[in-house]
Structures are given as C-alpha cells and as structure tokens.
Amino acid sequence: MTQAEAVRKGFNALYGADPEGVWQAPGRVNVIGEHTDYNDGFMLPIALPHAARVAAARREDGVLRLYSGQYPDAGVTELRLDDLAPRTVDGWAAYPAAVVWALREAGHRVGAADLYLDSDVPTGAGLSSSAALECAVATAYNDLYELGLTPPQLARLCQRAENEFVGVPCGILDQLASACCAEGHALFVDARSLDTRQVPFDLAAHGLVLLVIDTQVKHAHADGAYAERRRGCERAAELLGVRALRDVPEAGLDEALARLPEGGLRSLTRHIVTEDARVERVMALLDAGDLRGIGPILTEGHASMRDDFAISCAETDLAVDTAVAAGALGARMTGGGFGGSIIALADTADADGITAAVTAAFAARGWTEPRAFTAVPGPGARRLA
C-alpha cells in the first residue's frame, strides 16, 4: 500500500467516506544559513524524503475536524471555524487550525474540512515537522478551494499561522523550504525578497552523502531562547541604523561591531553577517560544481552557532566534532538549535564509520542513542492523489 493509499484508507475508516484528495509536504534540513531568515538574509535548505500527508474533504457546516496518526489518543478534534482565534487551541491541533485561520484572515473564502494527518517527519528534531504539517494543509486547501496561491504565498501564510495563531516566532525558512523545494536540488532563498533559486544538489554524482543525525535532544522554539536571539538581532540592527542585519556587509563587520555595546549584541551580529557570507560562499562553490568543497564552510558555520550565537548544546557539539574527526568533510547543527539534528557531508564510503563513531561517543557518555539517516533532496509540497 502506498503512503497515499494508507492515509486515504485511514480517512475512510475514521470519517466513513472517501477524501477528495491526498496532499503532502516535506520536512527539511538546512544546508547553511541559520537564523538568517528573520534577519532578511540567505539560506539554503533541502527537502527531506520525510513528509506530512493529509487526506482531506470539504465540509459545509463550518466545523473543522482534525485527526493525527501521531496523536491517536487525542481522537478527533472538532473546532468551529467562526471560533478560531490566536492562541485559543492547545496542542498539535493548533497547527492545522492555524492554517485555516490564516487563510480566512487573508480574506480567502474557505470553509471547513475533515482532515486526516499522518507524518514521518520526527517532531521536535529540528527537521521542521510543524512546517511540513502546515504546508500539507495549506496545499490541500489551495487545491480544494481553488485559491490559486503560489508556493511562496502559501509559505508566508503558514508562517503567519505559526507566528500569530500558534504563537511561535519562527522565520520563513521552514515553510518556504517545505513549499518550494524541488527534488535533487537545494533551494537558495533571499528572505527579504523571497526570491528563490533551485541549485542542483546531486550528492550521489559526487560520491557523497549528507548524513542527518538526530541527537534526540528536544529543542523548544517556543521557549524564550529563540525569541531572545531574535530580539537581540533586531536591537542590533536598530542600533546600527539598518533595516536588518542582512544590510551589514561582511567587509564592514569590524566597523559595525565597534559601534555596538560590548557583549551579546556583537556576537549575535557576527554570526548573522558571517553566516550570510557563508551561504554566498557555498552558493559560489555549488555554481562551480564543487559540492565537496562546501564541507569546511559547514563546520565553520557550526563554530559560529556554538561560539557566537550560542544555540548549540553538548550533544550537537559532540556529534559534530565526532563526525569531523571520523572523516566527515564538514558538519553542523541544522535547525533552530538547542538540540535537534546535525548534518554531516561525507564520502559515501565513510558514512557508516561516521555514524558508528557518533553512536559510540554518545554511548560512552550514557546518552540516548542518536538516530541517523541519509538525506536525498526530495520534492516540495504537492498533491499525491
């Protein structure tokens, strides 16, 4: 049975009718460009083969019904569309409800629906299970209600949904990656213009793999740390008299830092400015066909997140250091930080040894065993059936 058939069947068993269709949207890993999105900067995600799927059918009575295969004990959640308001829905149901709310807020005449959700994107692992879910629902609504919205427009809407309705102050990276990525490609994003460019990212052709190692340490975006970094960056931009830190050129970094008070704001600024520059250096290498050459830039990016942005943790640091020592061409934490997953770029022949080395290093400390898989760039949000 295909995954589309499985959710179709689940929908039918639960709601007693066939869905009108099945849609899916992927999780992502970010190759480089972390916390740059809310600084109007650059990033370079790929879509994972892991995705959220939704079987959906419209309803005419204004009652939204939600069920998730990941939260079977919660049963079916029923919400009246007219009652939807920011921060009024608790738990996982807030994410799909948020999307419907955001569509209506944006003036789209959409009604209710029965939704059956299922996902193999690990949650809270820095792989963007929340954006996958939002984009799957938004893509389903876009088709069912014939809204004609483009993938970047859907991404914007999903970001607003998560920011305002759920209450997580995330940037646009996750939603844009889930909505816009293409198979075999990385997605270059300029978060100011929302211009995107598909860049070939054919790991196999270069004899390489991109390992994703989930440290199983749960991050908490909604927690103050993310919001605090975000506020710090906005404050630094304000003090420097620029619209966003993206407007500080790398060549002018030292001069800009000297104009900021000593301490935290300087290191936040240094991470963002050098990180944007790293995305540009990675892009130049990819455009020159040198995928292997990006390794050291990834590792540099990790050091910047660890030392300047202070968003890594003992587990992600150990995973990165061990991967590099075991022969990875480069490695870094991916996602918002404080745990979650790392990526490691490696020669195919070295992948198993790297995974074994990281597993052994965690075991030696008595930490939970990390979960590893290889990421091949998958497709963005789409209709499955």
Residues 6 or more apart whose CB falls under 8 angstroms from that of 36 comprise 42, 43, 191, 246, 272, 275, 276, 279
Beta strands in the chain (DSSP E): 21-30, 42-43, 45-59, 63-68, 77-80, 112-119, 185-190, 195-200, 208-214, 330-334, 341-347, 371-374, 382-383
Strand partners, 71: none
Residues annotated within the binding site for ATP are 68, 124-130
Candidates 77, 130, 299, 322; binder of Mg ion (CB under 5 A) is 130
- How many residues bind ligand ADP, per CB under 6 A? 18
Residue with tokens 């497709």: 379
| Shortest CB 90 distance to ligand ADP, Å | 10
Known active-site residue 350: no
Site string for ligand ADP, 89-128 (x = CB under 6 A): ---x--x---------------------x-x---xxxxxx
Q: Is 341 a binder of ligand ADP (CB under 6 A)?
A: no
Q: Which of 52, 54, 49, 50 is nearest to 65 (CA)?
A: 54
Integer angstrom CA distances of residue 217 from 135, 157, 183, 213, 237: 25, 29, 29, 11, 32
Strand 63-68, strand 112-119: pairing: parallel
Residue 319 has, within 13 A of its CA and on its CB side, a CA count of 33
Residue 126 binding: pick among ligand ADP, Mg ion, none (C-beta 5-8 Å cut-off by kind): ligand ADP
| Shortest CB 127 distance to ligand ADP, Å | 6
Residue 52 binding: pick among ligand ADP, Mg ion, none (C-beta 5-8 Å cut-off by kind): ligand ADP
Pick the catalytic residue from 174, 214, 308, 350.
Answer: 174
Q: Which of 150, 58, 152 is nearest to 109 (CA)?
A: 58
Q: Is 3 a binder of ligand ADP (CB under 6 A)?
A: no
| Shortest CB 281 distance to ligand ADP, Å | 26
DSSP state of 164: I
Site string for ligand ADP, 177-216 (x = CB under 6 A): ----------------------------------------
Residues annotated within the binding site for Mg(2+) are 130, 162
| Shortest CB 220 distance to ligand ADP, Å | 7
Rounded Cα–Cα distance for residues 272 and 46 (Å):
20
Q: Is 24 a binder of ligand ADP (CB under 6 A)?
A: no
| Shortest CB 62 distance to Mg ion, Å | 28
Residues lying near Mg ion in the complex (CB under 5 A): 130
* Residues noted as catalytic: 174
Residues lying near ligand ADP in the complex (CB under 6 A): 52, 68, 70-71, 92, 95, 117, 119, 123-130, 133, 221
